[in-house]
Amino acid sequence: MVNTKVTLCGLELSNPLIPASGTFGYGYEFAELYDINLLGTFSFKGTTGEARFGNPTPRIADCPSGMINAVGLQNPGVDAVISTELPKLAKCFHKPVMANVCGSSVEEYVEVASKLAKCDQVGWLEVNISCPNVKHGGLAFGTDPNAAAEVTRAVKAVAGDKPVIMKLSPNVTDIVAIAKACEAAGADGLSLINTMLGMRIDLNRKKPIIANKMGGFSGSAIFPIALRMVYQVYEAVNIPIIGMGGVSSARDVIEMMLAGATAVGIGAANLVEPFICKQIIEELPAVMEQYKIESLADIVGKAHV
């Protein structure tokens, strides 16, 4: 019998599947469709200090093999997440959940992280450093190694015993430099990649489709890029990686793990097929047997020579 268990920052997962933040709500929405306890875990919606309405509409544009979105971190704010969303989740999900922490300043990251770190349901803090730094002209924290390290250190200082996983943007010249800066600042793990920057233009209006003009490009089209970045980062750091970006099959999961991912995030595919994570988990044992894999934990990084 094959073994799908992996260990992420000291916490065991029954399998490596993790629905990515922003594509799985707060979990209970999907619990109406199937038993979400079969997941390794999931990362809930990006959470900020105060409630955010998000960007103006339209926010979504179709692409071949993918989509572009500019939702804009719409969420009820950290206090409402703790008082309302997590109690609802507790009724249907009985494993540690991953909290996605967002902010437009280091202070906001610290505020959100310190509150979520006190929640027993939260197993990991996933820190989205693709957010714009309002104090430095709107440039994302994750595009500068020093800014990424600053956020990492600040969140680690308030995280208590919760592992801190930094979620990296691919919209950089050298993602390895960002990854190494986060590791040096104390990160316990890394998530990569977040969405790439893209746009579409409406030929009838001759204007950008999305009100925000540009948005995050995700879907199966970016899988080779995500795989390459996971492979590169694995060779440069000694902390676990959650690989994500265009994953939509059990074979993609195994490919990501061979590249160096300990766990694998499923993002845009959830929006196309709500049962995709369930299907992949059910298919994994047969695909493992096909490729003579006895334990998923044993194949992490095995594509490296």
pLDDT for residue 72 is more than 90: no
* pLDDT per residue as tens digits for the range 20-37: 999 999 999 999 999 999
Cα separation, 22 vs 100, in Å, equals 9
pLDDT of residue 137: 66
- pLDDT reported for residue 305: 76
Query: Does residue 92 carry a catalytic annotation?
Result: no
pTM confidence score: 0.96
Between strands 66-69 and 215-218, the pairing is antiparallel
Cα–Cα distance between 19 and 284 in angstroms, integer?
Answer: 16
pLDDT of the residue at 138: 67
What's the rounded mean pLDDT across residues 280-288? 98
pLDDT tens-place string over residues 218-239: 999 999 999 999 999 999 999 9
- CB 176, CB 193: distance < 8 Å: no
* Residue whose tokens read 């015993």: 161
Active-site option among 9, 131, 182, 277: 131
**Domains, the chain, with CATH or none:** 6-299 (3.20.20.70)
What average pLDDT is seen over the chain?
A: 95
Is pLDDT at 2 greater than 90 in this prediction? yes
For residue 160, pLDDT beyond 80: yes
Write the pLDDT tens digit of every residue in 241-278.
999 999 999 999 999 999 999 999 999 999 999 999 99
**Rounded to an integer, what distance in angstroms lies between the CA atom of residue 104 and that of residue 129?**
9
Q: For residue 298, give the DSSP letter.
A: G
> What would the pLDDT profile of 97-152 be if each residue is shown by its tens digit?
999 999 999 999 999 999 999 999 999 999 999 887 777 766 789 999 999 999 99
